[in-house]
Amino acid sequence: MKTTRLGQLEVGQKGRIVRVGSDADSPDWVQRLMALGFLEGSVAEVVHQAPFGGDPVAVRVRGTLLALRRQEANAVEVVQYE
């Protein structure tokens, strides 16, 4: 199963979350992501992106729309839907 980073998805693409946070990410940040709904098994979809370089992005996850920067969204690993 090929996984990709959430921050690399284009607008309109979505994937199922398989992993949140790696050893490189601070535990506080990972906890924050999870409390807002980034959890393994949930679906995340990139819905909008900001002007001038497409960063930050707006991601829909567990029924809410969350804004985060692409680089930070990379803490979330997804299996992309075709």
Nearer to other proteins, 55 or 77 (CB): 55
Contacts of 79 (CB under 8 A, 6+ apart): 1, 2, 3, 4, 15, 16, 18
Amino acid at site 7:
G
Nearer to other proteins, 40 or 79 (CB): 40
CA 77 to chain centre: 7
Q: Which two tokens stand for residue 78?
A: 């997804």
User: Any idea which residue has 């990410």 for tokens?
Assistant: 25
- Say if residues 17 and 77 touch (Cβ distance below 8 Å): yes
Query: How far apart are CB 13 and other proteins at their closest, in Å?
Result: 16
Query: How far apart are CB 56 and other proteins at their closest, in Å?
Result: 5
Binding site for other proteins (CB under 8 A): 20-21, 27-37, 39-42, 47-53, 55-56, 58, 62-69, 72
Nearer to other proteins, 2 or 64 (CB): 64
Query: How far apart are CB 79 and other proteins at their closest, in Å?
Result: 17
